[in-house]
């Protein structure tokens, strides 16, 4: 399963953009299928699928990330393996084309789970990552979006109408994510984002927070979230949904329904998540008008929903 953000998604009403999103998701899902059918691991599949989404400028991650209050890109990403609960995470990084690749190296080659800012970039240099220029990452559309938000003093996300007037949480929710179960029964999850438009003060959302925006446990599920990150952090949503499966014995669909109810009841949270349970069942839920996502269940056909 993959997702590409939640919100009003007003541009999905445009047939040309709908085709564009579907084609992008089709390519990514087919790539993930190919990895798994040829014996690749769930961890490899989610990393590679997330990287493809980071490389597509229509999504808010990697190239095409939204800009912070200074007109710069600060990116976050996390990846987790359900086998042994191994995880790697980076936050507030600049000029890395694929933050999810750096998160994977943190998982495998660091004694830590999460690295941030300058320290994460020093680690990237140590591991011979190539740095890219701002011109590579920043697209004209994102620059125009930031200019509008900057003029109005709004913090916003990337999938709602630019004419909204709410000053804080009710705008645009964009993140990318990928989850998978492989032939060995291992689960994995990955999440990556540029954050929210015009974000301030070194803000970090839920995407790189293990248990908030991403989680994987072979005994429960793999989950990747998208939305207003502060809400997801306050209820530790990814781990909460995993716990619903572990302690109540719920299936994917029921756990998702209860997770969305919990998010709404506790914080009136906006956003959603995708989930694959330990049986390989897929589910998704969201409180926003729409959420871009697609999936392949039990080696079947590719399916899409907005």
Catalytic center residues: 175
Angle at which helix 42-55 crosses helix 99-109, to 10 degrees, equals 150
- Neighbouring CB atoms inside 10 A of 202's CB total 11
User: E strand or H helix at 48, and its extent?
Assistant: helix 42-55
Q: Of 53, 50, 130, 142, which Cα lies nearest the Cα of 97?
A: 130
The C-alpha atoms of residue 166 and residue 181 are separated, in whole angstroms, by 39
Report d(CA 189, CA 217) in Å as an integer.
Answer: 9
Q: Residue 191: which of 29, 45, 2 has the closest Cα? A: 2
Bridge partners (DSSP) listed for residue 214 = 210, 224
Question: What's the per-residue H, E or C state across 229-241?
Answer: HHHHHHCCHHHHH
Take residue 306 and report the two structure tokens written for it: 């907005």
* CA gap 201, 176 in Å, rounded: 23
CA 68 to chain centre: 18
């Amino acid at each position: 399963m993959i997702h590409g953000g939640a919100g009003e998604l007003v541009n999905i009403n445009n047939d040309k953009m709908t085709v564009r999103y579907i084609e992008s998701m089709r390519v990514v899902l087919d790539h993930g299928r190919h990895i798994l059918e040829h014996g690749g691991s769930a961890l490899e599949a989610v990393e590679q699928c997330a990287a493809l989404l980071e490389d597509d400028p229509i999504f808010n991650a990697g190239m095409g990330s939204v800009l912070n209050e200074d007109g710069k890109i600060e990116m976050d990403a996390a990846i987790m393996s359900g086998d042994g609960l191994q995880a790697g995470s980076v936050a507030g990084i600049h000029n890395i084309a694929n933050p999810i690749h750096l998160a994977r190296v943190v998982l495998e080659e660091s004694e830590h789970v999460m690295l941030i800012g300058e320290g994460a970039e020093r680690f990237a240099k140590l591991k011979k990552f190539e740095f890219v220029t701002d011109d590579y990452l920043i697209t004209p559309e994102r620059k125009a979006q930031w200019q509008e938000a900057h003029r109005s003093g709004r913090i916003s996300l990337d999938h709602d109408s630019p004419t909204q007037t709410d000053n804080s949480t009710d705008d645009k929710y964009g993140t990318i994510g990928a989850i998978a179960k492989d032939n060995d029964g291992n689960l994995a999850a990955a999440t990556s984002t540029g954050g929210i438009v015009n974000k301030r003060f070194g803000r970090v959302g839920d995407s790189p927070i293990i248990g908030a925006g991403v989680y994987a446990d072979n005994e429960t599920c793999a989950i990747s979230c998208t939305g207003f990150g502060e809400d997801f952090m306050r209820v530790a949503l990814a781990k909460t949904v995993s716990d619903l499966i572990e302690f109540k014995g719920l299936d994917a669909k029921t756990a998702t329904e209860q997770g969305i109810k919990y998010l709404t009841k506790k914080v009136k949270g906006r956003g959603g998540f995708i989930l694959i349970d330990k049986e390989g069942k897929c589910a998704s839920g969201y409180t926003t008008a729409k959420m871009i996502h697609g999936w392949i269940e039990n080696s079947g056909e590719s399916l899409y929903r907005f």
